[in-house]
Every structure is written in C-alpha cells, then in structure tokens.
Amino acid sequence: MIHTRAFTLLLAAIVFAGCARKTDTTLNPPPPEPNPEPHLASDARERVKALGALAQEFADGANQLPGRNNVDDRAAVAQEFALLSQILPMLNGPDMTGDFRQQLGIVSSTRALLSSASEDLAVEPTIDTALRAANRALTSISQRSFIELTDVTKNLETMRVKIEELDGLTGPAHRLVTSQALRASAEAVTQMASALDQRLNDTSNKPADNKPADAKPADPKPQ
C-alpha cells in the first residue's frame, strides 16, 4: 500500500513537472533569431560596384511604385526594403553603432513581414515605421560621410516630409505617398553611391609619389 501510494505521488510529480515546463515555454517563448551579420566585400572596388548595381535596382523599383493593387504594391515595397537592407550596411561600412543596427533590423524585419503576412493584415503602420528607420539610418550616414552633398540632404528631407504625411493615410493614398518617400530615398542612395565611386576613381588615378619622404634637393653643380 505504501509502495503504491509512493508510486502514485511520484507519477503525479512527473506529470506536474512536464506541464510546468510546457507552460513556461508557452508563456516565455524563445527569443527570435538575431538578424545575420551583413556580408561586406573586403575589396573596396568590388563593394562600390555592387552598391551601384543595388542602388540602380532600388531606384528602378521605386519608380514603378505604387503597385496596381494592394497585393502587387506590398510585394514591390517588400522588395524595396530587401534592397535597402543590403544597401544600408554597404553605405555605412563595417563599423555600425547600436542605433544603426536597430534601424537596419527594423528594415529587414519589415521586409520579412510584408512577404509573409496575411493579405488581411493592415501593414501601413509597419511600413511607416520601416521608412522612418531607413530615413534615420540614411541621414546619419549622410551627416557623417556625405555632408558636402547638399542634394542628398534635400532628398532625405523630402523623404522625411513624405513620411510625416503618411500619418492617418490608408489604401491608395498611403501607397502613393509611400512611393514618393521611396523615390526620394532612392535619389539620395544613388547620389551617395555615385560619390563613393567618384572618390574611389580619384584615389586610383592619383599619381604615386615615389620620392622618399626624407629626400633632400640635389646639391647644385659646382661652377
């Protein structure tokens, strides 16, 4: 009788522990997988060439917006964010601040959400958040590395104004203003990519100075 009661208590404890573990897992799901580190080509010329191609693709996509309907537009905007998630690290370089990583993560996760979410889900707030993150990331890059390019500053300001117009908009009106914000960002990206290409060419074409740093002028010939 004692053994039977002990066995019953042990079995109940095992079942309870199993339920507790299941409940804990449900209430505290594992954290999402972190975004993979962006891969940047080690060769500067290769990186700038790839950036130029992505910037052109990004601009072409922005010029085709808005889409014919909600489904087409969502797919096209998702592709634009996918391109931005590659372009931003290439413009920024390998040294990324915590703020930049957060902004890049928002852009990347928005691309994934737009590609997989139900068509019934209202995605306007998500798109607005991603556009704001992209604008902050591009603005920080511009202020740090392209401050002399006034056209970049103007385009990013246009992008910011268009993003503010998105508040309260839905449907076709939201899709139209989103396309305008993305076109302004594409102009800025194209200009920054062109500037990097020009800087690289200027460095490559600069004549090498073969004279030793401590070289002295030759002694005049004796008269």
Q: How confident is the model at residue 27 (pLDDT cuts 50, 70, 90)?
A: very low
pLDDT digits (tens, 9 = 90+) for 169-206: 999 999 999 999 999 999 999 999 999 999 988 876 66
Q: What is the pLDDT of residue 207?
A: 58
Q: What is the pLDDT of residue 205?
A: 66
Q: What is the pLDDT of residue 4?
A: 46
State in Å, rounded, how far the first CA of the chain is from the last one: 127
Contacts of 113 (CB under 8 A, 6+ apart): 123, 126
Contacts of 193 (CB under 8 A, 6+ apart): 48, 51, 52, 55, 91
Residue extents of the structural domains in the chain: 44-203
Q: What is the pLDDT of residue 42?
A: 56
For residue 153, pLDDT beyond 50 = yes
Helix (H) or strand (E) holding 100, with range, is: helix 98-116
pLDDT digits (tens, 9 = 90+) for 41-67: 457 788 899 999 999 999 999 999 999
